[in-house]
Amino acid sequence: MLYALMGLGLALITGVLNIPNFAHGALFAVGAYLLASTANLIGNFWLALVVAPLGAALLGLAIEYLGIRRLYAAGHDYQLLFTFGLALILSEAIILVWGPVGYSHLPPPVLRGGVDLGFTFYPKYRLFVMVAAGLLVLATWLFLEKTRYGAIMRAGIENKEMVSLLGIDIHKLFTAAFALGAYLAGIAGALTAPIRGLSPGMGVDMLGIAFVVVALGGLGNLLGAIAAGLLIGVAQAVVAAHWTEASSVVIYAVMAAVLLVRPQGLFGIR
Amino acid sequence: MGKLKRRDVLKIGALAATGLGFPAILRAQSREIVILGLWDQTGAFSDVGPLNDRGMRMALEERDMKVLGRSIRYITRDGATQAGASTRRAEEAVDGEGARFIVGPWSSGVALAVSEVAKRKKVVHLFSGGTEDISGARCHRYSFQWAASPYTAAKTVVDNFMKANPKAKRWHLLVADYAFGWSVEKYVKEVGKTHGIEFVGADRHPLGEREFSNYVQKAAANKPDAVAMINFGGDAVAGAREIFNFGLTPRLPLIMSWSSGVEELVQLAPEIRDNLWVGTNFYYTVDTPAAKNFVKNYQAQFKLPPGYAPSAAYSMTHMLLAGFDKAKSDDVQAVVKALEGLEMNDIVGPMRVDGATHQTLRPYFLLRCKPKGAMKHELDFGDVVATGDAPLPKEYAACKDIGPF
């Protein structure tokens, strides 16, 4: 579900803004660090879980408004270089603010330890993350499908010029889409912090997976991103149960297999 | 007289350089001793390389970058935690920079490849890691092992852990799947037999693994009395964190058999460290004059006390410099002979290099981490509860003949 959450955010940015956001992993890391700092500061994990992704969304908003907006006419090379450079800057900024050494952030006391599910033993916190990420994916999907602004975003993915001609401020749409994508990356990072811990490079692995999800689902396709996130998550879990050592490779094997059959991805049309 | 042509200028310049400049360069080159620190700045051990570099640099700076009255030129190369990159860069440093003394790299598997370069190029190679092969089956005259032998480590950890936890007879192992993991696993199982330990599971994971939930699920299903990890760095931290998240610790003891110490422990919250037993080649409270001095200077510069990585680089460099001093020469063969049988009192206490295998005979440490309430300060991770230096018994020794130069 976390993969779907990350992939959905990246697919939204790729779809609406039509740019490859290499800073998505760094926004994931920012979400994780903000959660740990906020929780330590206010002593409340749940409130921190609300605040941290909002911080990532604000950062996303600033990135779009101050940086990416100026590069829409410049072409993909410049956008790619900008987001790649931004990813490096954010990683170094994390080192400057929080230091180069990784650390752990514990789940809230009520979610510590594991539960016996009968067929397996599983950590309570991971179960919580599964449910929370599932609900977030559902909420995002409902927002995009059932609200007027969601419809505008989807229309923006299909045809930006048409949306613009209808009198909708396309720049505001871009900013909102980037901020929402950053929010999803931030909350994925915040939820992951107690599982994977915090380290300045933590976004790199997740960035690779997010791009796999987007490519697998079909570039910019939101439903595709959700389906692809679930597919590689399930594939990884099934392979890990029988052949643990191959659990990381299976993500890329699934992508290669699907793209050989459907080069446009599961739900893609381009 | 014709006009001076560009080609003539170049010729004159080349002659001038040959006649005037080169002897000076050559004199300078022959006077300085080039030492290579092959430390990973990228790849799975990219977090360790800078720490190795700190330790090595400190040892050299203590001597004002001089030995035998000559300047030391310390050069570093990124081994990239890969055998191909490490061997290529080591060869380039030997051929292009005149390096005849190599310290590093960090990964056992990669170091074995670099050891072959040292043998072929006939240069001195010092290494610290968990593989037994450098001072075992693949021993030769040019490579030396600073870390305790995997047998010494396993014996120290298993014997003393069992003394404190005699009922913990069912162990599940999580092992890093490369040379270091295989060597330590072998001896943990051998020593475990003498205590009647049943190994109910042993899962191997690749270097750089960060997702341990599936491994821990398997461990939990085996209902062990203790879980022992034979891995290092980020792998060990990720593993310990996941074992806590599953609720196995602190209910069960977790053993980190071959830990970097401080660098790993600082990444774990005190709750995760509860009931954690840590085997290590160095811990910053080791009570030796050399360690006290090193820890004080290191902390003054870097705030955190040093763990195994900077300490190993620091002490290996001490060892190499002691070799120069004893040999009174920088001739490779003379330094090798001087290092064979070298005795010194360094940061871990008394050390002796076994001339027959090039294994350093030295103490290994077992810590027990403190619960949060017992910590006196935030770096008070634990106490050294045992020290062991049992050498590898002859029946296990795979280095039958260290060979000629």
Q: Which helix (H) or strand (E) holds B133?
A: none
Q: First CA to last CA across chain A, in angstroms?
A: 25
Beta bridge partner(s), residue B126: B103, B144
Q: What is the DSSP string of B297-335?
A: HHHHHHSSPP-HHHHHHHHHHHHHHHHHHHHTS--HHHH
B203/chain A closest Cα distance in angstroms: 9
Query: Do the Cβ atoms of A244 and B268 come within 8 Å?
Result: no
Q: Rounded CA gap, B104 and B52, in Å?
A: 9
Q: Rounded CA gap, B265 and B270, in Å?
A: 9
Q: Rounded CA gap, B116 and B211, in Å?
A: 33
B303/chain A closest Cα distance in angstroms: 12
Better-scored residue on pLDDT, B128 or A17: B128
DSSP letter assigned to residue B396? G
Q: Rounded CA gap, B39 and B302, in Å?
A: 18
pLDDT tens per residue, range B162-211: 999 999 999 999 999 988 899 899 999 999 999 999 999 999 988 888 88
Domains assigned to chain B: 32-148+284-362 (3.40.50.2300), 150-280+363-396 (3.40.50.2300)
Q: How many A×B Cβ pairs under 8 Å?
A: 80
pLDDT of residue B78: 96
Query: Do the Cβ atoms of B220 and A121 come within 8 Å?
Result: yes
Distances (CA, A) of B192 to A9, A25, B173, B262, B396: 50, 43, 12, 27, 15
pLDDT of residue A167: 83
pLDDT tens per residue, range A57-86: 999 999 999 988 888 878 778 888 999 999
Query: Do the Cβ atoms of A121 and B217 come within 8 Å?
Result: yes
Predicted confidence band at A269 (pLDDT cuts at 50, 70, 90)?
low
pLDDT of residue B310: 96
Query: Do the Cβ atoms of A121 and B234 come within 8 Å?
Result: no
A127/chain B closest Cα distance in angstroms: 11
pLDDT of residue B97: 95
Which residues in chain B have Cβ-Cβ distances shorter than 8 Å to A205? 210
SS3 content of chain A, % helix, strand, coil (to 5): 75, 5, 20
Instruction: Kindly tell me if the per-residue pLDDT of B381 is higher than 60.
Output: yes
User: Does ipTM come in above 0.90?
Assistant: no
Query: Do the Cβ atoms of B211 and A248 come within 8 Å?
Result: yes
Cβ contact B31:B330 at 8 Å: no
pLDDT of residue B3: 47
What is the rounded average pLDDT of the residues A117-146? 89
Choose among A104, A107, A120: nearest Cβ to B267.
A104
Q: Rounded CA gap, B139 and B128, in Å?
A: 14
A207/chain B closest Cα distance in angstroms: 15
- φ, ψ for residue B380 (rounded to 5)? -85, 75
* 3 state DSSP class of B199: strand
Instruction: Kindly tell me if the per-residue pLDDT of A150 is higher than 50.
Output: yes
Asked if omega into B306 is within 30° of 0 (cis), the reply is no
Better-scored residue on pLDDT, A251 or B225: B225
Pairing of the two strands B276-280 and B254-259: parallel
Asked if omega into B391 is within 30° of 0 (cis), the reply is no
pLDDT of residue B27: 44
Query: Do the Cβ atoms of A104 and B241 come within 8 Å?
Result: yes
Query: Do the Cβ atoms of A245 and B177 come within 8 Å?
Result: yes
Interface of chain B against chain A, CB under 8 Å?
47, 177, 203-206, 209-211, 213-215, 217-218, 220-221, 234, 237-238, 241-242, 245-248, 263, 266-269, 271-272, 304
| Residue A108, CB-side half-sphere exposure with 13 Å CA sphere | 14
DSSP letter assigned to residue B226? E
Q: Which helix (H) or strand (E) holds A159?
A: none
Better-scored residue on pLDDT, B13 or B183: B183
Distances (CA, A) of B388 to B81, B148, B153, B281, B356: 30, 10, 8, 11, 21
What is the rounded average pLDDT of the residues A148-176? 83
pLDDT tens per residue, range B33-63: 999 999 999 888 888 899 999 999 999 999 9
SS3 content of chain B, % helix, strand, coil (to 5): 45, 20, 35
Which residues in chain A have Cβ-Cβ distances shorter than 8 Å to B268? 104
Pick the residue of A121, A196, A207, A250 with the most B CBs within 10 A to test the interface with B by mutation: A121
Q: First CA to last CA across chain B, in angstroms?
A: 60
- Give the Cα-Cα-Cα angle B132, B184, B140 (nearest 5 degrees): 5
Minimum CA–CA partner of A240 in chain B:
B214
pLDDT tens per residue, range B311-355: 999 999 999 999 999 999 999 999 999 999 999 999 999 999 999
Better-scored residue on pLDDT, B65 or B12: B65
B340/chain A closest Cα distance in angstroms: 37
Which class for B378: exposed (0-12), middle (13-18), buried (19 or more C-beta within 10 A)?
exposed
Pairing of the two strands B364-369 and B276-280: antiparallel
Predicted confidence band at B7 (pLDDT cuts at 50, 70, 90)?
low
pLDDT tens per residue, range B78-102: 999 999 999 999 999 999 999 999 9
pLDDT tens per residue, range A184-241: 999 999 999 999 999 888 888 888 888 888 888 887 778 888 888 888 888 887 887 7
- List Cβ neighbours of B16 (8 Å cut-off, separation of 6 or more): none
pLDDT of residue A10: 85
Choose among A120, A123, A241: nearest Cβ to B245.
A123
* 3 state DSSP class of A270: coil
pLDDT of residue B327: 97
Distances (CA, A) of B282 to B305, B314, B349: 11, 11, 10
pLDDT tens per residue, range B122-160: 999 999 988 889 899 999 999 999 999 999 999 999 999
Query: Do the Cβ atoms of A103 and B246 come within 8 Å?
Result: no
Interface of chain A against chain B, CB under 8 Å?
100-107, 112-114, 120-123, 125-126, 194-197, 199, 205, 237, 240-241, 244-245, 247-248
Q: What is the DSSP string of A28-92?
A: HHHHHHHHHHHHHHHS-HHHHHHHHHHHHHHHHHHHHHHTGGGGTTT-HHHHHHHHHHHHHHHHH
Predicted confidence band at B5 (pLDDT cuts at 50, 70, 90)?
low
Q: What percent of chain A is predicted at pLDDT more than 70?
A: 99
Query: Do the Cβ atoms of B206 and A248 come within 8 Å?
Result: yes
Predicted confidence band at A259 (pLDDT cuts at 50, 70, 90)?
confident
Residue with tokens 């001597």: B63
* 3 state DSSP class of B256: strand
Predicted confidence band at A3 (pLDDT cuts at 50, 70, 90)?
confident
Minimum CA–CA partner of A122 in chain B:
B246
DSSP letter assigned to residue B246? T
Minimum CA–CA partner of B217 in chain A:
A121
Mean confidence (pLDDT) of chain B? 91
Q: Rounded CA gap, A161 and A19, in Å?
A: 16
Instruction: Kindly tell me if the per-residue pLDDT of A160 is higher than 90.
Output: no
Which residues in chain B have Cβ-Cβ distances shorter than 8 Å to A199? 234, 267
Buried-exposed string B2-38: b where 16+ CB fall within 10 A, e elsewhere: eeeeeeeeeeeeeeeeeeeeeeeeeeeeeebbbbbbb
Instruction: Kindly tell me if the per-residue pLDDT of B20 is higher than 70.
Output: no
Which residues in chain A have Cβ-Cβ distances shorter than 8 Å to B177? 245
* 3 state DSSP class of B55: helix
Instruction: Kindly tell me if the per-residue pLDDT of B399 is higher than 50.
Output: yes
pLDDT of residue A131: 93
Instruction: Kindly tell me if the per-residue pLDDT of B6 is higher than 70.
Output: no
Q: What is the DSSP string of A213-263?
A: HHHHH-TT-HHHHHHHHHHHHHHHHHHHHH-GGGTTHHHHHHHHHHHHH-T
Minimum CA–CA partner of A205 in chain B:
B210
Q: How many CB atoms lie within 10 A of CB B59?
A: 22
Mean confidence (pLDDT) of chain A? 87
Choose among B214, B237, B238: nearest Cβ to A241.
B214
Pick the residue of A244, A247, A250 with the most B CBs within 10 A to test the interface with B by mutation: A244
Residue with tokens 């071959």: B258
Least confident of A23-32, A97-106, A166-175: A166-175
Instruction: Kindly tell me if the per-residue pLDDT of B12 is higher than 90.
Output: no
Query: Do the Cβ atoms of A113 and B271 come within 8 Å?
Result: no
Q: Rounded CA gap, B78 and B66, in Å?
A: 24
Choose among A107, A121, A248: nearest Cβ to B221.
A121
Query: Do the Cβ atoms of B211 and A247 come within 8 Å?
Result: yes
pLDDT of residue B317: 98
pLDDT of residue B30: 58
Query: Do the Cβ atoms of A244 and B242 come within 8 Å?
Result: no
Amino acid letter, A25: G
- φ, ψ for residue B76 (rounded to 5)? -125, 150
What strands lie across the sheet with B143-145, from one edge to the other?
B66-67, B70-78, B33-39, B101-103, B124-127, B143-145
Predicted confidence band at A270 (pLDDT cuts at 50, 70, 90)?
low
A239/chain B closest Cα distance in angstroms: 10
Q: Encoding tokens for residue A35?
A: 């959660």
Q: Encoding tokens for residue A65?
A: 């408004």
